[in-house]
Structure 1
């Protein structure tokens, strides 16, 4: 990318450590004896990445020992690139629950709040994210992020990757390549119980896979213990119960750790000690009525993450989760007295996590942790890149097609539309488009048709292609032209950030706030996108409060960062207050209203107004 464009877009570069690059250059992605590697179309070494700086948007709570937790809204590769300089080698534990390539769209049920929610079916499903990939694209996506993740771990750090059997063989090989097969510790089977279904072509699928990799031989765990069931212990030891001289129940135990002598041990001591956890974890999924349930799709139970965090991070240690989702890792880390960093590209994940953490922080203030563990309850929210262009990345392609007046192609597998005689490909949005993103397009080139066109008009391009992106590598067009050789194609790049900054991709919410009799009053609130969806559902709402998830108020807004002192987050079927007593020392007042789609309106009013 040219220096001029770098300066215009405020791009920076993060580089992978030379030690890793040495191994990349050594193997050059060619399998060698004793070193199996996974290859895919378009695989390339990951050596550096360009990224946008982060902007601090919200601050909640106070620092503890100079630390405030961090949440980032943005593509996780750019987020990690932004963090790498400060946190390289500083993270104790990484837990990630990335996309599974499940070939499904995940949706969240949106329900109107208040009494109306109990008396009528005022709900609809809103798509949160899509988990549909081409195989090569998915593998490159995960490979780059795992290379970056490795850079963050301390010498004693650990990584846990949560997946399912669909991609676990591929991810295991990538993890071996990035971390070294010698650092593989466990494949943990999370076995869960749910409704059984009879099938005549497969057994019931009842588990996920969690790969545990060490950063180095220094990595250790604090072994979790499970309670023994008395009958199971007796059955396992194949021993009968004996009664000791003092009347206690006794059981024979074999010698351990160099002591070969068996001995009688009080049964209650063995039961109290518990048994070491193995690599099959029987834990239920979250019930629909559980307090921790957020409604976010693919949410994992806190008990599962608690076992991982307690085993592989010390009190006050730093935990990183860059596929944050509903914020379970962050929630558990806060409860266990760990510091954390989280990231997600989905705005719904950011808002769900922030709301969840605000509630946990309040609970911890009322019921503090033990004396030895400090709760790190404060957190900051950052944006990376101009993500407010697209509130919902799943809808981005449709929005772009409409805004750029592209004619959709229903039957094309590689192009998204056509405009002015040019074939249009919309690149991944909400992150910088890279040359690796061209692989699917290149794989779908119609060389037979091109050959026919070239024979008919040798001097004309056989194809005119427009790439639509949101930030891009400088050689994006040149690499596509090179890949098409010996055919001549013409490629142009439309960069939304640079070329189409005035495009409107969403309908902004509207609100009116006023100060009356010493109170801040929200008089009206119109969440435009939500109201439009409700009108399609033929649902009517009488009170704007039924559409609101939360209200945050900063009484002395500095013009840049929201630091709310009023946090109005009602219960499931309760409504926000809508009226708030203004303190005497209030200055510029900033109000943030978040609706049920996790979209928000922000506005300011002066205390003197």
Structure 2
């Protein structure tokens, strides 16, 4: 249950154009009862500090939060934290599924032989499989309701001079534009920015190639106090000529110049050396390369955006030490660029892969050749909302359906219902599971129960004797049961079940066998923890499913299945030892990450060494944490 509810303020702007094809529902709007008591608001949950990097006080100013946007905003509002710039890259309602490519690491027992042979693995030689991160599949009305709730939450933690950039594409941007006019005020709309990028040359029969995203920019400050005119410089005459598409001329003194459009049909003379030096003011069409042209920047995240895009936004709409927030943080590009530009940052995302990616990305940032670990100050926090997610909401939902005994699909059943259970006593029993991707569905209250009674029960293709309603959060379950009894609109028996009991059964811990010994390294005593074996049932299920799929698609031809060694060390992506505490907040006193080519990253520093199956530390390890290649993390105490 939440600690308390915090109201959305300020309210959306009144008198704006409204979308009339969906019903706005702010479950946490902050309504008051007759006595003036607050009975609803944004849910504020307990926040747990998972890790702290660098200076503890400075780390409180840079936050990496695992949790939903609305709950994160409740926490910020309670702490009195106002952000100066927001960039969000939410789902586009595109209908696409996004996956993470999971690479099998090199077996450490082969590392020595590979090194002796001076071999370097090529990416094409790596064994891999894909794992779904999230599905961008939405009913349009549900999507707009979800965006409305999130945008209102975000607005409640923006300063009076703050700006917000919302990154979308053609699927839904036109609807969200009207929605943002309503919430932020159309007078605060500044730009409809087109980010144009390169791509494959396709020959299309019925349309032009879609090759741009749209970024909606709003600023709450009429004076534009936080806006900085952004100039783009040129490296050479050749670059200027190529990008501006202007052919230079030469005057009587031999000086090269161009004729620029000054408006109203007037052309003015501008010397080429001055034009190159001064640069050009950036307009609302941004021609920037996509990430696939910058391999060094890639962190293998499906929806990753280029740093150049965020650098332009952050420089244009913030100054040093201001707070830059991204509530759908994904690959962590906003936090990474904000940190490089000496801004404070807040990264929020519900997926564990996102949190791990930005954590590792920030640790690896090198401002100078002699950069030592600890210069990046930030805290990793987790919202304890009682929902123990698997790795992300979509995987948790898929897993949940397999945990409900006897749950199966039924033709004619709407998407509202997860499926049906066949019961000897009650016949066919419809089952509702809250959609963990949509925060609206997480609280069971009277308005939502009324919709179930008067809308969803009536739309069933048959009349059941019983239905099962799972819930995540409820103010008072006895109050809901009394509400159902008093309604008398149906004879169907409603059975309520707490979803958290199912969620607790989702995570199956990985297993590891290891040993610790004290060694001498150049006369300096160290501790060496050797991983003797590692096994992950969760990863092996993915691998077995991948092998079966490949076998079915092979059509009798030979295929090479993924085979894991007896020790299973290929399934490890990252490991860390805590030499400071046996419980509570994690202290990564020494850590190793194995990249997809098998090379080791020691405490954020890349090397050309292969992992040998061990990790060393100056002090005796008290705890060991291992992250498998899919992103699950497990902790063991070291005796």
CA contact (8 A) 2:50 2:586 kept: yes
Q: 1:437 to 1:552 in 2, by over 3 A?
A: farther
Give 1:559's match in structure 2, choosing from 583, 586, 590: 583
CA contact (8 A) 2:417 2:430 kept: yes
Residue 49 of structure 1 aligns with which residue? 42
Residue 364 of structure 1: SS of its match in structure 2?
coil
Give 2:99's match in structure 1, choosing from 96, 107, 130: 107
Work out the CA distance in 2 between the residues paired with 1:76 and 1:141.
11
CA contact (8 A) 1:548 1:576 kept: no
Residue 145 of structure 2: SS of its match in structure 1?
helix
Give 1:534's match in structure 2, choosing from 520, 543, 559: 543
Q: 1:404 to 1:268 in 2, by over 3 A?
A: same
Matched, 1:227 2:208: no
Deviation at 1:212, TM superposition (A): 0.3
Work out the CA distance in 2 between the residues paired with 1:71 and 1:479.
41
Q: 1:478 to 1:36 in 2, by over 3 A?
A: farther
Work out the CA distance in 2 between the residues paired with 1:196 and 1:443.
52
Residue 291 of structure 2: SS of its match in structure 1?
coil
Matched, 1:433 2:443: yes
Out of 173-182 and 69-78, give the one that drifted further: 69-78
Alignment of 1:553-592 (within 5 A): 553-557=577-581, 559-574=583-598, 575-584=610-619, 586=620, 589-592=622-625
Residue 457 of structure 1 aligns with which residue? none
Residue 215 of structure 2: SS of its match in structure 1?
strand
Residue 159 of structure 2 aligns with which residue? 154
State TM-score, norm by structure 2. Answer: 0.79
Matched, 1:445 2:426: no
**C-alpha offsets along residues 472-529 of structure 1, whole Å, 9 cap, x if unaligned?**
35479579959987445443331223xx279521321111232123422222221221
Work out the CA distance in 2 between the residues paired with 1:155 and 1:378.
27
Deviation at 1:446, TM superposition (A): 6.1
Gaps of 5+ in 1: 1-8, 28-33, 370-374, 454-461
Work out the CA distance in 2 between the residues paired with 1:49 and 1:263.
56
CA contact (8 A) 2:8 2:156 kept: yes
Q: 1:401 to 1:272 in 2, by over 3 A?
A: same
**C-alpha offsets along residues 236-281 of structure 1, whole Å, 9 cap, x if unaligned?**
6x9843254xx6445677999xxxx998654312211000011011
Work out the CA distance in 2 between the residues paired with 1:132 and 1:379.
33
Give 2:367's match in structure 1, choosing from 364, 368, 376: 364
Matched, 1:315 2:320: yes
Residue 77 of structure 1: SS of its match in structure 2?
helix
Residue 175 of structure 1: SS of its match in structure 2?
helix
Work out the CA distance in 1 between the residues paired with 2:452 and 2:136.
19
**C-alpha offsets along residues 93-132 of structure 1, whole Å, 9 cap, x if unaligned?**
1000001111121111111122797585621110001111
Work out the CA distance in 2 between the residues paired with 1:297 and 1:233.
30
Residue 594 of structure 1: SS of its match in structure 2?
strand
Work out the CA distance in 1 between the residues paired with 2:276 and 2:321.
30
Residue 376 of structure 2 aligns with which residue? 377
Q: 1:280 to 1:87 in 2, by over 3 A?
A: farther
Deviation at 1:604, TM superposition (A): 1.8
Work out the CA distance in 2 between the residues paired with 1:198 and 1:222.
40
Deviation at 1:39, TM superposition (A): 2.9
**C-alpha offsets along residues 408-427 of structure 1, whole Å, 9 cap, x if unaligned?**
12422232122343311111
Residue 366 of structure 1: SS of its match in structure 2?
coil
CA contact (8 A) 2:350 2:392 kept: no
Residue 176 of structure 2 aligns with which residue? 171
State TM-score, norm by structure 1. Answer: 0.83
Q: 1:505 to 1:198 in 2, by over 3 A?
A: same
Q: 1:560 to 1:145 in 2, by over 3 A?
A: same
CA contact (8 A) 2:104 2:596 kept: no
Q: 1:235 to 1:75 in 2, by over 3 A?
A: closer
Residue 474 of structure 2 aligns with which residue? 472
Q: 1:77 to 1:231 in 2, by over 3 A?
A: same
Residue 17 of structure 2 aligns with which residue? 36
Give 2:298's match in structure 1, choosing from 276, 290, 293: 293
CA contact (8 A) 1:472 1:495 kept: no
Deviation at 1:339, TM superposition (A): 1.1
Alignment of 1:4-23 (within 5 A): 9-17=1-9, 19-20=10-11
Work out the CA distance in 1 between the residues paired with 2:486 and 2:172.
29
CA contact (8 A) 2:16 2:186 kept: no
**C-alpha offsets along residues 530-572 of structure 1, whole Å, 9 cap, x if unaligned?**
1222233242122533222111222112520012121212343
**C-alpha offsets along residues 26-55 of structure 1, whole Å, 9 cap, x if unaligned?**
x5xxxxxx6310134432343422232111
Matched, 1:326 2:307: no
Gaps of 5+ in 2: 31-40, 111-120, 519-526, 548-560, 599-609
Residue 90 of structure 2 aligns with which residue? 98
Residue 408 of structure 1: SS of its match in structure 2?
coil
Residue 569 of structure 1: SS of its match in structure 2?
strand
**C-alpha offsets along residues 61-90 of structure 1, whole Å, 9 cap, x if unaligned?**
3347574421111122112212212244x2
**C-alpha offsets along residues 210-244 of structure 1, whole Å, 9 cap, x if unaligned?**
000002213342122223544369866x9843254
**C-alpha offsets along residues 167-217 of structure 1, whole Å, 9 cap, x if unaligned?**
011100110011000000000001111002122222110110000000221
Residue 516 of structure 1 aligns with which residue? 517
Out of 392-401 and 480-489, give the one that drifted further: 480-489
Count of residue correspondences: 559
Residue 6 of structure 1 aligns with which residue? none
CA contact (8 A) 1:391 1:506 kept: no
Work out the CA distance in 1 between the residues paired with 2:250 and 2:19.
53
Deviation at 1:299, TM superposition (A): 1.1
CA contact (8 A) 1:42 1:439 kept: no
Residue 215 of structure 2 aligns with which residue? 210
